[in-house]
Amino acid sequence: MNATTPPEPGALQPLLPSDPSTIAGYRLLGRLGAGGMGVVYLGRTAAGELAAVKVTHADQADQPDFRARFRREVEAARRVSSPWAVPVTGADPDAPEPWMATAFVAGPSLGEAVTAYGPLPERSVRLLGWSVARALAAVHAAGLVHRDVKPGNVLLAVDGPRLIDFGIARSTGETALTATDMVVGTPGFLAPEQAEARTDAIGPPADVFALGCLLAYAATGRPPFGTGAVDALMYRTVHDEPDLTGVPEGLLDLVRACLAKDPAARPTAAEIGVRLVEDTPRDGAEWLPAPVVRTIAERSARMLALPEIDTTEGATAPAAPPKSRRGFLLLAGGAALAAGGGVTAWAALGGDGDGKKTPPPPRARRWTIGVQADLTGPGKDIGRAQERGVRLAVERFNARKDKPFTLDVKVSDDGGVRSRALAAARALTGDRDVLGIIGPTSDYTGYASLPAYDEARLPVITTSAGLNLLINPAASRGVSMVRACPTHSYASMFLTYYVEAKSRTVRPGILQERTDDSYSWQCAVSMKFAFGQAGIEALPRVIPVGAKRLEKVLGEMVDAGMDAYVHAGIAPSAIRAARELDALGFTGMRVAGQHVFGQEFLTGAGKAAEGWIVGAPVVDPATRKEAAAFTAAHRKAYGTDPAFYTGETYDVTNLLVEQVEKAAKGGGRPDRTTLAPLLRAAKSQGVMGGYTFEEDGNLSAVGTFVYAVENGRFKPLEFAPAGPPAKAEGT
Bridge partner residues of 693 (DSSP): 699
Q: Return the biggest CA–CA distance within the chain.
A: 90
The one catalytic residue in 19, 148, 414, 696 is: 148
CB 222 within 8 A of CB 114: no
Alpha helices in 503-608 (DSSP H): 517-533, 550-559, 571-583, 599-605
Whole-angstrom distance, CA of residue 691 vs CA of residue 700:
8
Q: How far apart are CA 481 and CA 454, in angstroms?
A: 8
- Find the angle CA(260)-CA(263)-CA(264) to the nearest 5 degrees: 105
Q: How far apart are the first and last CA of the chain?
A: 60
- In 220-379, the DSSP E strands lie at 366-373
Alpha helices by DSSP H, listed for 457-549, are 488-502, 517-533
Whether 310 sits among the annotated catalytic residues: the reply is no
Closest by alpha carbon to 221, among 309, 125, 157? 125
| Angstrom distance (rounded) from CA 111 to CA 223 | 11
Cα 652 to chain centroid distance, Å, stands at 22
CA–CA distance, 78 with 72 (Å, rounded to integer)? 10
Q: Tell how far CA 445 is from the center of its chain.
A: 9
Length of the chain: 731
Contacts 24+ apart (CB under 8 A), 125-128: 125/215, 125/218, 125/219, 125/248, 125/251, 126/251, 126/276, 126/279, 126/280, 127/160, 127/276, 127/280, 127/287, 128/154, 128/161, 128/214, 128/215, 128/218, 128/287
Half-sphere exposure of 214 (CA within 13 A, CB side): 33
- CA–CA separation, 222 vs 245, rounded Å? 10
User: With helix as H, strand as E and coil as C, how does 89-104 read?
Assistant: EEEECCCCCCEEEEEC
Report the C-alpha gap between 335 and 332 in whole angstroms: 10
In our burial notation (b when 16+ CB lie closer than 10 A, e otherwise), range 675-698 reads bbbbbbebebbbbbbbbbbbebbb
Active site residues: 148
